[in-house]
Structure 1
Amino acid sequence: MAALPTVSDVAQLAGVSRQTVSNVLNSPDIVRPATRERVDDAIRTLGYRPDASARRLRTRKSATIGIRLEPVLDGISGNLLDRFIHAVTERAARRGMRVLLYTAAAPADEIDELARLRDGADVDAIILTATYRGDERSRWLTENGVPFVAFGRPWEADDLSSPQHLWVDVDGAAGTREATLHLLASGKRRIAFLGWPDDAGTGDDRRSGWRDAMSTGSGLPADALHALSIGVTNDVQQAQAATLDLLARQPDVEAIVCVSDSAALGAFMATTALGRTDVAIVGFDNTPVAAALGLSSVEQNMDVVAAGALELLLGADGSDIVPRDLSAGEAHRLVAPKLIVRSVLHLDGSAVGADPSLH
């Protein structure tokens, strides 16, 4: 097998020094056009390919963005991250950037992985996902000077508007508010919220939209709203059990706004088992599961989110991670979601009401 061509081979064929070849590869603007053309011709003739690893360690640039690949717990919620990663990868490629996926079991493990990626100059920046209150990953990245943008707000008052903490997020409160107002407009009043436990950041945000709409539009007192707010983990079976318990205690519940499509599936399974086809259910994320069941759901536009994340890292049309002075208002993007209204078709062939707003 013939040996691969080297920088020395290129230099000899072009009649220049090794340093000139290096300059053409790394800083072509400082080389005279005629010399640069001879080196480029030699590279094409020999089929020379630069050592990407050596170049990366020398320049500390990899044209790569790292994103954690999260575990898929129920096959539903993971669909959202898949769509986001696909959108980021596609848009990054148009800017000459690549995406590197990594895994980590816990935040401490992820920080170890981030340190390894930084030390090996494997990535130029990180896109954090699944942010939470007191997120130590963002603190580590900031303290170690690793550029990053978070998909999800920092949820800390001192970081929320910080120009050093870049973030893009979907306005979950606006989404659940729209869903709740839509149900109220259809005549529903006793509308429950099936969400995650308190202090979940994203879950609290989505619950607040439901609470705002119910406080102003349902006519129910605060204690009644408190009883209609249920907290469960993002698990289909737990959501089903919680819905069964809710309807046993409060059979007059007319609708349920859910924090996710996983929760909506659990609620749907419960209402179906009870024969309560009168209870309207709205999910969040607009996954294929919601579409298949005919459930209304709040859609997050992952293409817009991905575009916002890359714009914060690279600028409007840049192709390199470079430090930029940003003000608080420029350092984040809050994307408005959209309610997708559907009508559920049950096994007996009937839809829930002639008005599709009921589901």
Structure 2
Amino acid sequence: MRQPTVEDVARLAGVSRQTVSNVLNSPAVVRAGTRERVENAIVQLGYAPSMAARRLRTRRSDTIAVHLDPYSGGISGVVLDRFVHALTDRATPRGLGILVYAATDAQEELERLRALRDGGEIDRVVLTGTVEGDPRTDWLREVGLPFVSFGRPWGAERTVADHAWVDVDGAAGTRAATAFARGLGRRVAFLGWPRGSGTGDDRERGWREAMGEDAAEDLRRTSLDTVQAARAETELLFATTTVDAVVCASDTLAVGAHLAASHAGRSEVTVVGFDNTPVAAALGLSSVEQRPEQVAEAVLDLLVSGAEPGGSLIEPELVVRAGVI
């Protein structure tokens, strides 16, 4: 059976061969509607660019390295799994490969990236798990290896970003969750992580913005990101203050809060999580959906187009489930 060609894709999408090439290699220059038609044609025909031919022509590997976090169980890790899956799925029509690597700490990750680069196995990188003062970004800039991070450069919000990044607007998510709970006439507490986590502080900010003057300190609680610790902290919250709803920084914390409410016979308490995991769906908990597929699309657009330093935020979506009301 004959393999589909670029010409077949162009014919089905009703565009020129050059437009198909632009979608594969420089998607940012193609209008969204046209790009969508071409991508749909690629999927419909099962077209796969010849990566080997491209490598010979350009002397590039056209392979993106992305770190796979060590498996730690739990609930919320599924978000990064979805991101890596979406990155792989969306890279293929663009003629790009994904190389997943593992490392236990930043130093080991740098050594792994250095070996992959020196061996010609990768020519681009997607960073995950960004932290303030991230040593990986300095090294990548130093060696001139193009990269985009899933996660903003924490600690640099008031300065010009020194690399391209995409992140989820965590504050917008918890702001929407808090407004939803307050709309039900609820006194809303926030269960987050200890201060100092960029992601956690950002999510707490959304709660504070939605609460305004009602963001009392007795309503702000912190916990390690485990179900057991979250349950214990929520039980203490119920024992010491009046609360009708709990907005959480993760679905792991939300499950703990949900168990505490069930144990206390407080079925009327609204619990809202963050990550929209299958566990939250199974328990009927409302949760903030991070849309990692949109993050992956935006990351690839920046990587392929060679965007200037700067960032973009993906707006999350509050998924409301009747089980929490």
Q: Look up the equivalent residue of 1:240 and give its one-letter code.
A: R
Q: Which residue of 2 is the match for residue 182 of structure 1?
A: 180
Unaligned runs of 5+ in 2: 1-49
1:155 matches 2:154: yes
Aligned partner (choices 271, 293, 309) of residue 283 of structure 2: 293
Question: How far apart, CA to CA, are the structure 2 residues paired with 1:280 and 1:229?
Answer: 16
String of CA shifts for 1:114-142, please: whole Å, max 9, x gaps. 11111112111111111111211222212
Q: Look up the equivalent residue of 2:195 and give its one-letter code.
A: D
Q: Which residue of 2 is the match for residue 279 of structure 1?
A: 269
Query: Quick check: 302-311 or 135-144, which moved more?
Result: 135-144
Q: Which residue of 2 is the match for residue 229 of structure 1?
A: 220
The 1:131–1:160 alpha-carbon spacing in structure 2 relative to 1, beyond 3 Å, is: farther
Question: How far apart, CA to CA, are the structure 1 residues paired with 2:297 and 2:152?
Answer: 16
Higher Rg? 1
Q: Which residue of 2 is the match for residue 208 of structure 1?
A: 205
Question: How far apart, CA to CA, are the structure 2 residues paired with 1:268 and 1:68?
Answer: 32
CA contact 1:133–1:200 (8 Å) conserved in 2: no
1:310 matches 2:300: yes
Q: Which residue of 1 is the match for residue 62 of structure 2?
A: 63
Question: How far apart, CA to CA, are the structure 2 residues paired with 1:249 and 1:139?
Answer: 47
Aligned partner (choices 226, 234, 244) of residue 243 of structure 1: 234
The 1:172–1:160 alpha-carbon spacing in structure 2 relative to 1, beyond 3 Å, is: farther
Q: Which residue of 2 is the match for residue 137 of structure 1?
A: 136
What secondary structure is seen at the aligned counterpart in 1 of 2:246?
strand
Aligned partner (choices 316, 319, 324) of residue 337 of structure 1: 316
Q: What is the CA-CA distance between 1:75 and the residue it aligns to?
A: 3.5
Q: What is the CA-CA distance between 1:151 and the residue it aligns to?
A: 0.3
Question: How far apart, CA to CA, are the structure 2 residues paired with 1:306 and 1:167?
Answer: 11
The 1:73–1:325 alpha-carbon spacing in structure 2 relative to 1, beyond 3 Å, is: closer
Scaled by the length of structure 1, the TM-score of the pair is 0.72
CA contact 2:131–2:198 (8 Å) conserved in 1: yes
Q: Look up the equivalent residue of 1:230 and give its one-letter code.
A: R
Aligned partner (choices 245, 254, 261) of residue 244 of structure 2: 254
CA contact 2:246–2:272 (8 Å) conserved in 1: yes
Aligned residues: 274
Q: What is the CA-CA distance between 1:81 and the residue it aligns to?
A: 0.8
Question: How far apart, CA to CA, are the structure 2 residues paired with 1:234 and 1:325?
Answer: 35
1:170 matches 2:168: yes
String of CA shifts for 1:288-322, please: whole Å, max 9, x gaps. 0111000000111112111100000002xxxxxxx
1:270 matches 2:256: no
Question: How far apart, CA to CA, are the structure 1 residues paired with 2:138 and 2:274?
Answer: 29
Scaled by the length of structure 2, the TM-score of the pair is 0.79
Question: How far apart, CA to CA, are the structure 1 residues paired with 2:144 and 2:157?
Answer: 19
CA contact 1:133–1:199 (8 Å) conserved in 2: no
Question: How far apart, CA to CA, are the structure 2 residues paired with 1:226 and 1:139?
Answer: 38
Q: What is the CA-CA distance between 1:112 and the residue it aligns to?
A: 1.2
Question: How far apart, CA to CA, are the structure 2 residues paired with 1:325 and 1:314?
Answer: 8
Question: How far apart, CA to CA, are the structure 2 residues paired with 1:110 and 1:239?
Answer: 31
Q: What is the CA-CA distance between 1:101 and the residue it aligns to?
A: 0.6
RCO higher in structure (CA 8 A, sep ≥6):
2
Q: What is the CA-CA distance between 1:325 and the residue it aligns to?
A: 6.1
Q: Which residue of 1 is the match for residue 15 of structure 2?
A: none
Question: How far apart, CA to CA, are the structure 2 residues paired with 1:294 and 1:311?
Answer: 35
String of CA shifts for 1:133-161, please: whole Å, max 9, x gaps. 12112222122222110001011327864
String of CA shifts for 1:245-298, please: whole Å, max 9, x gaps. 221222x11110000111111111111111111211000111101110000001
Q: Look up the equivalent residue of 1:154 and give its one-letter code.
A: P
Q: Which residue of 1 is the match for residue 19 of structure 2?
A: none
Question: How far apart, CA to CA, are the structure 1 residues paired with 2:244 and 2:307?
Answer: 50
Query: Quick check: 58-67 or 302-311, which moved more?
Result: 58-67
String of CA shifts for 1:207-249, please: whole Å, max 9, x gaps. 000011111xxx53x6xx2221112222221111111122122
What secondary structure is seen at the aligned counterpart in 1 of 2:65?
strand
